[in-house]
Structure 1
Amino acid sequence: MDEEVRRQVEEKVLRAVVEGRMWAPGETVVVAVSGGPDSLCLLQTLHTLQPHHGGRLHVAHLDHRFRGAESADEARRVVDLARALGLPATVEAVDVPALARRERLSDEEAGRRARYRFLVGLAASLGASALALGHTADDQVETVLMHFLRGSGPAGLRGMRPVSPPAPWMTEGLVLSTPLRLVRPLLGLSRRETEAYCAACGLHPARDRWNEEVRFLRVRLRRQVIPLLEELNPRFREAALRLAQLAAWEEEDLQALLEERWPALARSEGRTVRFPLAGWRNLPRTLRLLALRRAVEQVRGHLEGLGWEALVAAGRLDEARVGTTVALVEGLVARRGYEEVAVGRPEDLEEAAPWPDLGEGGVPVAVPGRTELPGGYALVAEEGRPEEASPPDAPWEAWLDAEACGRRLWLRHRRPGDRFYPLGLGGEKKLQDFFVDEKVPRALRGRVPLLVSPRGIVWVVGYRLDERFRLRPESRRALHLRWEGPKD
């Protein structure tokens, strides 16, 4: 019986290593061993299978100093097992409770950060290509459920991947001579199987009482929530793992589709990524979100802290006015340009103002006619009958009362004291206050074109008409204005 248990588990682990191409023969593999059943199963199987996978194993253990002499004893037992297997071992101790207080983290998060900093740092110092972790299918179920509770999309619902790169914070300040992969050979095993394997091998796992602390979310899910869900669906774990696999396939397919479209979709310019509107508007919503995530990662190096609400708002910028900005994360923004959506830091996006320079005196407007403007922009004015007017399909089009406007019109930039009567507001407003309310970026306010007549501002181009010049039921002549960009 014991032999059959060992054979089945070792076959699954070897298949995961080979099919996942987790490492090549001769490469160094750091094996994270806490002393619990999962990590002991990981160490024993990888040692037994060493002639087949060819990795050079190095055991790593971190004493979190949560439990004093008890955790120190666990560290000694891990070292003794490594020696018995003829493997090198590195043990380090970190005062995690002190770290939690110093960095204002929960004990759970502080322990996780200390553990990965140690493991990845050791891997870097050894030139290892893989860091083997003992996560099982049960851990995967818990991870998927945690991500579900946080409102994750397909990328989160796929849970942990068998092979993945370390998060940027794990490698901060390190020099990796060899690209490092986090590998999880036990993802196809249940915790029951790892415990059975340890028993079959005569191993005696440590029992960490911290794994019984229900104040930790993962433990609460394991001990309280998942058993309740299994009452509702006895095969809940299978369902959660199936969801993770489907989400992984969907994410891979979407990423492949984005990769195919990326060269035509995006332009990378220094520390910015720009999406021309022509391609952006034809992009499905899910691909827009993935494209924005990729742009953030390209500019910033990682995605930590990037939230759902910001992504969705940025994905709709093509519907917003020019200059509309969405704060993404840590000083990174997405901004609506005249004919693009751009991602970068505000100071890097200011280089290309989306409006022409109209000079100090402004530019007279031909009525009717086409007024050419610097930078390839133009304003087209056409006279017509009020009954020909239709609702503008974009902020770059306006229908006005031709008699109220008159024919003496010109374009200029704002001046101190400018006021107008925004359509729909029912009163006068300072142009400065209007820009603030409309969230027009400060750096762009001085470049927004204003169509003016001797009576005042007629149209804040791209934003709002003046109430005094709108078409009314009694209007006899209409003036149709259309703003054109360089590539219209």
Structure 2
Amino acid sequence: MVDKALSYINEHSMLKSGEKVLVALSGGPDSVCLIHILYNLQEKLNIQCFAAHLNHCLRGEEADKDEAYSEELCRRLNIPFFSKRVDINALAAKRGISVEMAGREARYEFFDEIKNKYQIHKIAVAHNANDQAETILMRFMRGTGSEGLRGIKPIREGIFIRPILCLSREEIEEYCRINNLNPRIDKTNLEDIYYRNKIRLQLLPYIEENFNSNIISTLNRLAYLIDSDNDYIQEQVDINYNIFCNANEEGLLIHKDAFKLHKAILSRLIRKAYNEFSGIHSNFQKVHVDDIIFLQKQGTGRSINLPGGICAENRYYDIYFFKKDSKGELVFNEKYIIENINDIKSKLYEGFNIYLQDFRLNLNIKRLELKPSLNLKTNNTTKYFDLDKIKGSILLRNRKAGDRFSPLGMKGSKKLKDLFIDLKVPQDKRNDIPLLCFDDDIAWIIGYNISDKYKVDKNTKNILQIKLESEAFFE
């Protein structure tokens, strides 16, 4: 397995002689296998290993044991070790994002601190072949294009490398057993409460047993083939971007002749233009690409709103991107989740998932009966509501003018704009915060608070549990 990882590292030119490599070490089997393999390759590759461990403070004593294990392992291997503790729940609330996303941001900020201080060249993370397969299946079921089916890339931004992406989870566990590494096990990975965990624990084993016993390697092979094809397409996109796109500080123009290109090239060119101009690399979906292509066929002067406060305008059949000022119209999305909850209340006991592409969120909705044993502990991604207080539709949308909200524990309501000011939400972030609404009444400001109107109280008999999961973790 060391030789297999070495071959993969060399195939993708991940490391150069003399480089310093920082390993993201959680203490679990994947990262422990990764650091041990790189430790064994230090002399052959002429590299120097470092390790970074972030304690998320989410699992109490178990998290502390993960940190202690990681430190002791690095002491035995004589690898410099860095650790940091961050209250991820508090960070998620402060930034108005999910706990998962807050954890990811905290980790990469910590890695960046060490990288800058110790002149680190590469940061190694421990994604494996199973992670790749899970990612491809998850994206496939959400309707991704070929770009998404490339899966997890071996190298990102020329800095982040994944040396054991070629190893299966079974191979990793065998490596840890043979080398008596005894890694830590995060029990939450064994619970099928998250979308990815359900794919890992239910869907993939079912496919292996009933359809293809080598599904992990098959999906990894698919990712490799699509990656090769996409590299060629991206080369053509880059060539045409330089021909048809012009940018300055005020805006970016896509020349009308670009819209004669094959749609496989055009759609990627539009996405590249948006990413380059806005600096945003998420929340820009196929629907936005299609809207821009349609806009180009309309009359001059027509415009549409895009995520991140960007406007696209038809200027004599050229498309011009520019940033709206603070007085510009709101970027508005609205998606119904349930048209009429009274029609399906009896079916909610089984629960269901819905993926909202415009918001890049997966929602799990389920009905619960109030019992003494029921644990109603909430966090930024799980909330509970009194089901019998909900009379009509459930939808997700962005804010709009005149919105009011009744924060938990407050009688009456206040303007959503004033609440965002109180919460110190940056102005450029406010339009992108999803709002879960019952009819058109805001019930949950995602990442922040729920409404007092729909809280669970002493008179509650039936509970609606809503969990959400963001897509961004494996990018």
TM-score normalized by structure 1? 0.63
Task: Output the CA distance in 2 between the equivalents of 1:106 and 1:251.
Answer: 31
Rate the CA distance shift 1:285–1:87 in 2: closer, same or farther, 3 A.
Answer: same
Instruction: Describe the SS at the equivalent of 2:17.
Output: coil
Task: Output the CA distance in 2 between the equivalents of 1:312 and 1:139.
Answer: 31
Rate the CA distance shift 1:109–1:84 in 2: closer, same or farther, 3 A.
Answer: same
**2:40 is the alignment partner of 1:48:** yes
Look up the match of 2:321. 343
Rate the CA distance shift 1:10–1:344 in 2: closer, same or farther, 3 A.
Answer: same
Instruction: Describe the SS at the equivalent of 2:184.
Output: coil
Rate the CA distance shift 1:289–1:281 in 2: closer, same or farther, 3 A.
Answer: closer
Shift of 1:113: 2.6
1:79-104 Cα distance to aligned partner (Å, 9 max, x none): 11111111100011112233334444
Structure 2 counterpart of 1:158, from 130, 147, 150: 150
**2:3 is the alignment partner of 1:15:** no
CA contact (8 A) 1:64 1:71 kept: yes
CA contact (8 A) 1:311 1:328 kept: no
In structure 1, give the amino acid aligned to 2:164.
L
Task: Output the CA distance in 1 between the equivalents of 2:139 and 2:115.
Answer: 28
Look up the match of 1:200. 178
**2:201 is the alignment partner of 1:236:** no
Look up the match of 1:439. none
Report percent identity of matched pairs: 30
Shift of 1:299: 1.1
CA contact (8 A) 2:240 2:269 kept: no
In structure 1, give the amino acid aligned to 2:214.
R
Task: Output the CA distance in 1 between the equivalents of 2:97 and 2:254.
Answer: 38
In structure 2, give the amino acid aligned to 1:275.
I
1:122-158 Cα distance to aligned partner (Å, 9 max, x none): 2233221211001100011111122223322222211
Look up the match of 2:253. 274
1:16-70 Cα distance to aligned partner (Å, 9 max, x none): 2222222322222110111111111101110111112222111111112222122
Structure 1 counterpart of 2:311, from 304, 325, 333: 333
Instruction: Describe the SS at the equivalent of 1:154.
Output: coil
Task: Output the CA distance in 2 between the equivalents of 1:98 and 1:29.
Answer: 30
**2:230 is the alignment partner of 1:251:** yes
Task: Output the CA distance in 2 between the equivalents of 1:19 and 1:302.
Answer: 31
Task: Output the CA distance in 1 between the equivalents of 2:188 and 2:104.
Answer: 13
In structure 1, give the amino acid aligned to 2:295.
L
CA contact (8 A) 1:137 1:189 kept: yes
Task: Output the CA distance in 2 between the equivalents of 1:88 and 1:239.
Answer: 38
In structure 2, give the amino acid aligned to 1:138.
N
Task: Output the CA distance in 2 between the equivalents of 1:216 and 1:99.
Answer: 21
Structure 1 counterpart of 2:199, from 221, 226, 229: 221
CA contact (8 A) 1:17 1:53 kept: no
Structure 2 counterpart of 1:321, from 280, 299, 306: 299
CA contact (8 A) 1:198 1:205 kept: yes
Gap runs ≥5 in structure 1:
1-8, 166-179, 351-488
Q: Which has the larger radius of gyration?
A: 1
Over aligned residue pairs, what C-alpha RMSD do you find? 2.1
**2:73 is the alignment partner of 1:81:** yes
In structure 1, give the amino acid aligned to 2:311.
V
CA contact (8 A) 2:297 2:317 kept: no
**2:101 is the alignment partner of 1:122:** no
Structure 2 counterpart of 1:29, from 21, 26, 30: 21
Aligned length: 326
Equivalences for residues 398-409 of structure 1 within 5 A: none
In structure 2, give the amino acid aligned to 1:90.
F
Task: Output the CA distance in 2 between the equivalents of 1:247 and 1:311.
Answer: 21
Shift of 1:13: 1.3
1:416-455 Cα distance to aligned partner (Å, 9 max, x none): xxxxxxxxxxxxxxxxxxxxxxxxxxxxxxxxxxxxxxxx
Instruction: Describe the SS at the equivalent of 1:49.
Output: helix
Task: Output the CA distance in 2 between the equivalents of 1:308 and 1:205.
Answer: 41
Shift of 1:111: 2.5
In structure 2, give the amino acid aligned to 1:274.
L
Look up the match of 2:105. 113
TM-score normalized by structure 2? 0.65
Task: Output the CA distance in 2 between the equivalents of 1:243 and 1:323.
Answer: 44
Task: Output the CA distance in 2 between the equivalents of 1:334 and 1:284.
Answer: 21
Look up the match of 1:261. 240
Instruction: Describe the SS at the equivalent of 2:152.
Output: coil
Shift of 1:219: 1.3
1:321-346 Cα distance to aligned partner (Å, 9 max, x none): 21221222211122211141222225
Greater length-normalized contact order (CA 8 Å, ≥ 6 residues apart)? 2
Structure 1 counterpart of 2:31, from 27, 39, 55: 39
**2:41 is the alignment partner of 1:62:** no
Task: Output the CA distance in 2 between the equivalents of 1:117 and 1:219.
Answer: 26
Instruction: Describe the SS at the equivalent of 1:90.
Output: strand
In structure 2, give the amino acid aligned to 1:224.
Q
Shift of 1:226: 1.7
1:171-198 Cα distance to aligned partner (Å, 9 max, x none): xxxxxxxxx6110000110011111111
Rate the CA distance shift 1:284–1:141 in 2: closer, same or farther, 3 A.
Answer: same
Rate the CA distance shift 1:106–1:273 in 2: closer, same or farther, 3 A.
Answer: closer
Task: Output the CA distance in 1 between the equivalents of 2:221 and 2:311.
Answer: 36
Task: Output the CA distance in 1 between the equivalents of 2:297 and 2:317.
Answer: 11
Rate the CA distance shift 1:149–1:116 in 2: closer, same or farther, 3 A.
Answer: farther
Look up the match of 1:386. none
CA contact (8 A) 2:134 2:199 kept: yes
Rate the CA distance shift 1:253–1:15 in 2: closer, same or farther, 3 A.
Answer: same
